[in-house]
Amino acid sequence: MLRIQEKKGFICDMDGVIYHGNRLLDGAKDFVQWLLDNEKKFLFLTNSSERSPRELQEKLARMGLFVTEDHFYTSALATASFLASQNPNGSAYVIGEAGLVKALYDVGFSMNDVNPDYVVVGETRSYNYNHMEKAVHLVSRGAKLIGTNPDLTGPTEAGIAPACRALIAPIELATYREAYFIGKPNPLMMRQAQKRLGCTADETVIIGDRMDTDIIAGIESEIETVLVLSGVSNETTPNRFPYRPDHILKGVGEIPRGQ
């Protein structure tokens, strides 16, 4: 097993790894600069569906991290790619933010709140009872229920906040239908990430703060795993799972210093 620093490709989560909300985490700037200085191939792979790659690029730039737009891949893009392959030029009722809507428009989908092919749910701060009620009616009439990712919670500057799976749960319960989730650890998203990196599994490491998405995604894809304790996990979190990461670090800032 190669040391982390010897890997060619780095798949890295963002929330809880690089930042919390609009606060850059300790060591993140050194880590990104190390990736650039050492000409590593890297991809920020986020289950968040709120922002487009351009918006994520601009967010990091405001924090003093300057990387190109092609270094970002989101669950919104993965969801749009999957739906376009399943139902070209289909339609969707979307509960989510601009990043998700744009991703669907870009693959030829239209927005439809009458008889859509899909109800698609992602993270949003504008979720309300009317959205939930509309989604329940549409799914009950035959629309397929899609979640951009299976995260129950996500880290913010103020603490833990409900994420996609928590938002979609009332729709599942009311309709007796289970959603299909696209983001990590779905192999669809991991394969897209590896294709974009152009690295083999042996050459790659995945870094994240969640055992149930980042770490299991790496294990199932036979990629070396790094759990960082800067997000939703702490020292005891791995004890609750029947699998373990290859490495546990306080944060990504430890990587440039040598693990």
- Catalytic residue positions, numbered: 13, 15
**CA pair distance 29, 5, nearest whole angstrom:** 16
Supply angle C-alpha 75, 15, 152, rounded to 5: 65
Encoded amino acid at 73, one letter = Y
**CA pair distance 188, 145, nearest whole angstrom:** 17
Q: Are 211 and 238 in contact (CB under 8 A)?
A: yes
Q: H helices of the chain, where? A: 28-37, 53-62, 75-86, 98-106, 129-140, 164-175, 187-197, 216-220, 254-257
State which H helix or E strand residue 93 sits in. strand 91-95
**CA pair distance 246, 215, nearest whole angstrom:** 9
